[in-house]
Structure 1
Amino acid sequence: MAKGGTFGMRERKFTCLGNIVKTGLLVGGSGLIGGGIMHYFKKRADDEFELLAPNSKQLSLRDPEDIRGYCRKFRPEFIINCAIAALDSSPLLAYETNYLGTIHLARVAMERQIPYIHFSSAAVLPPGENLTEDDRLELTPELANYPKSKLLAELALAELHRKHGLDYTNIRLAVVYGAHDHKIQGFQRLLFSLADQAMPLMFTNRRAVHSYSNAKKVPAFVHHVLRNRAEFGGSTWHFVDPLPVALSQLIITIKSYLGLRRPREIYLPYPLASFGAGCMRRLVRLLGRIGIEARMPAELLFMENFYQTQTLSSRRLKNSSFVDPKPQATVFTELPLLLEYYLSRWEALNLITPCNQDHFACRVKGEEFVHEPDRVLKSLEREVGQPFLGPEPPDS
């Protein structure tokens, strides 16, 4: 059972067969990946694992005393760390959250001799094709705060494994896509820019290809990793879809789904895009000096990546004992669901201007409700004729 927080001494949980359920600590349970893991373990692994998921007020990665106190009190038998600082965080916040917090949790895992599952990012990798788990950027002072802190964490975990026997698994994700993320960042920033018509031209080229990670599949992999420590311990794994995606093709597909005229299929050269981002950065600084708060989208810090190819090898994952629960699922097959979820949410929050709503061709049900409400009622009998709950999902 996944819990948002626990107070008082925890009693051991037993299954109906008398087996003890292992209790784990999940850090970062409010995010896209962490939230998905909580939901999955509650529905699919409740008879094996119980997750404690304290919020940042109960356990702050930036406060080692919080971590010591919580782990002494509840004695987790494994740790999953999904927490990250934002892409545009200050050096101190990125260092304390992405690096120091990772090390504090790793030390708990070492001293208690328990598994530690850590989530990393393709931001630690250079551009290139078919990059393996052994590839990394060179650690230099010039690296941006986010990749530098994530790279430091990876290097430190590998060192703790070699010298002190830390039982860890490092999972690298690429561009993550999935529903139920309340932040507009990464893949969702792309959707938002297109839906809000904020991208007049193609801020990429025809050659740039990237790897993508399906957030819905991650929890099943974590479950499998916990069950198979001998195979997955002490190593890094790329959790990505087998086939990479051209950014230009993805933009054009989203544009087609939404029935939009923009962006025009005119590819803005990188020097011009970089110059525009620089002008915007200077404008933001100027506004700050006169007391107007403004921030650039964090993704613009990585604009160069829009024009470069970076694909991650999935060979190690494919050759492992893990079986993809939905091998046919890709970012393209999931697009209709993602668009329906995020457009509905952003409209409800008035983040998308009304002038754009007429273009959302994928909103079939909404159009029926507005223009043909009698059809909505007529469909009720057909819907009631189908089972609502459906069959119980099979065990993973």
Structure 2
Amino acid sequence: MDQVLQKKNRCLGVLIGGSGLIGGTLAYYFKTKTPDEFDIRAPSSKKLSIRNAQDIIVYLKRVRPDFIINASMASLDSDAQLAFEVNYLGSINLARACSALKIPYIHFSSAAVLPHGENLAEEDQLPLTANLTNYAKSKLMAEKTLQHMMKEHDLDCTIIRVSIVYGEHDHKIQGFHRLLFAIADESMPFLFTKRGIKHSYTNATKIPAFVHHVLLHREEFSGQIYHFADEEPVELDDLILTIRAYLEVKTPREIYVPYSLVMAGKFVLERVAGFLSWFGITARLPPEYMFLRNVYLPQVLSTKKLQESSFIDPAPEENIYTRLPGLVIYYLTRWAHLNLITRFREEFIGNDLESDFLRHPDELLNSIHADSATPWPALLETEELAALPDDDDPADDGDSL
């Protein structure tokens, strides 16, 4: 990659999954922090479907990128076909393209491929069995095939495993944000976990700096898997109670619900949802319910390999607790705008204009017509300047051929 940077002014990269939390964070970073080094293209699935090999071939022949980053994923509750085609087949299609073009491939994987336990290393993986969830199975298969391609076909690839990702600008309510939503919505009456169960968390805002570093140091990071997570794991019950205290809500109460009781409740809810479908009412449990067992068992990723690498954490003091105030304000404001949560509406987004819009729309309309409906003066000045003759325009010189 260093040689490529010397030959070209900017490296051209293709980012898949740019609309997600990780992909969006990457796109924003490269656009604002490294505009002189990198030119990032983030085609939508309408322009480039990674499920279609021909789409990839045509697009890459035209763009000719210097590297590809794959941050795409199918929804957690996708059926077997979609999970296989997006998480596995799409990932391998991109890898085959990178292998042919001899360019680096950065692939994002998930802690879903790991067993439960603490101090889990990069070499650890679940056994590939039929009873895995579609998501975990497809992600695990992708990792195994990429490892095979790195060994047998000299694929220049780095696999980045993330744990529970947190960050702003996630338009989906999933993962950590599902937990935050449940507490804010006061729909979690008790603690659905055990005391002291620890999990690793991944700060989305730190990911781009690591990817940037990985791209610039291919000799060190090529052919490797890295766990990218905060150094210190988090006790789930402590995190839940911290969020509760921050939001000043009464629930969840500090009562730990046994796993057997939770599964019985899940069974009842599934039957109720099936019953409602008879009346044309669609009711679905959140996709995170498939990972209920995970909140009763620890999963702590070892970051020793990351810490011993040449990468330096740009904000070592940041973690889920330090980012929590900003996350709460951002997501409660967003959810209030979408009418998903009403309890905190006045606190986070209440203002005079909203009040007038709700209660006195006629008075608001008249005031806007009186004060705020005229053309913007700043743009009028621009139009006047554009109408003046341009001294550098040959057509204004008086002579023409």
Matched, 1:43 2:32: yes
**Alignment partner, residue 168 of structure 2:** 179
**Paired amino acid for 1:287:** L
Query: Which residues of structure 2 form unaligned runs of 5+?
Result: 355-401
Give matches, 1:235-246, under 5 Å. Answer: 235-246=224-235
**Alignment partner, residue 389 of structure 1:** none
The one-character-per-residue Cα deviations of 1:257-314 (angstroms, maximum 9, x if unpaired) are 0000001100000000111112112222333344222211000110000110000000
The one-character-per-residue Cα deviations of 1:121-145 (angstroms, maximum 9, x if unpaired) are 0000000001000000000011110
**Alignment partner, residue 205 of structure 2:** 216
Deviates more, 1:270-279 or 1:125-134: 270-279
Q: Which of 21, 25, 46 is matched with 1:32 structurally?
A: 21
The one-character-per-residue Cα deviations of 1:141-168 (angstroms, maximum 9, x if unpaired) are 1111000000000000000000000000
Q: How many residues align?
A: 352
Q: Which of 121, 127, 143 is matched with 1:154 structurally?
A: 143
CA drift of 1:49 comes to 1.2
Counterpart Cα distance in 2 of 1:168 and 1:289: 49
**Paired amino acid for 2:217:** N
The one-character-per-residue Cα deviations of 1:188-227 (angstroms, maximum 9, x if unpaired) are 0001001111100101111211000000000000000000
Q: Which of 303, 320, 337 is matched with 1:314 structurally?
A: 303
CA drift of 1:342 comes to 0.1
2:13 match: secondary structure = strand
Give matches, 1:1-396, under 5 Å. Answer: 19-352=8-341, 354-355=342-343, 357=345
1:117 match: secondary structure = strand
- Could you say which structure has the higher helix fraction? 2
**Paired amino acid for 1:107:** R
**Contact 2:193 2:236 survives alignment (8 Å):** yes
Cα pair distance change 1:356/1:19, threshold 3 Å: closer
CA drift of 1:366 comes to 6.0
Q: Which is higher, the Rg of structure 1 or of structure 2?
A: 2
TM-score normalised to structure 2 length: 0.84
Counterpart Cα distance in 1 of 2:233 and 2:260: 25
The one-character-per-residue Cα deviations of 1:79-138 (angstroms, maximum 9, x if unpaired) are 000000011000000000000000000000000000000000000000000100000000
2:253 match: secondary structure = coil
TM-score normalised to structure 1 length: 0.86
Cα pair distance change 1:306/1:72, threshold 3 Å: same
Cα pair distance change 1:366/1:292, threshold 3 Å: closer
Cα pair distance change 1:44/1:75, threshold 3 Å: same
**Contact 1:171 1:237 survives alignment (8 Å):** yes
The one-character-per-residue Cα deviations of 1:27-66 (angstroms, maximum 9, x if unpaired) are 0000110011011101111111111100111011222221
Percent sequence identity over aligned pairs: 52
Cα pair distance change 1:62/1:288, threshold 3 Å: farther
**Alignment partner, residue 364 of structure 2:** none
**Contact 1:196 1:356 survives alignment (8 Å):** no
**Paired amino acid for 1:133:** E
1:217 match: secondary structure = helix
Counterpart Cα distance in 1 of 2:7 and 2:311: 28
Counterpart Cα distance in 2 of 1:274 and 1:42: 45
Counterpart Cα distance in 1 of 2:105 and 2:219: 13
CA-based RMSD of the aligned residues comes to 2.0
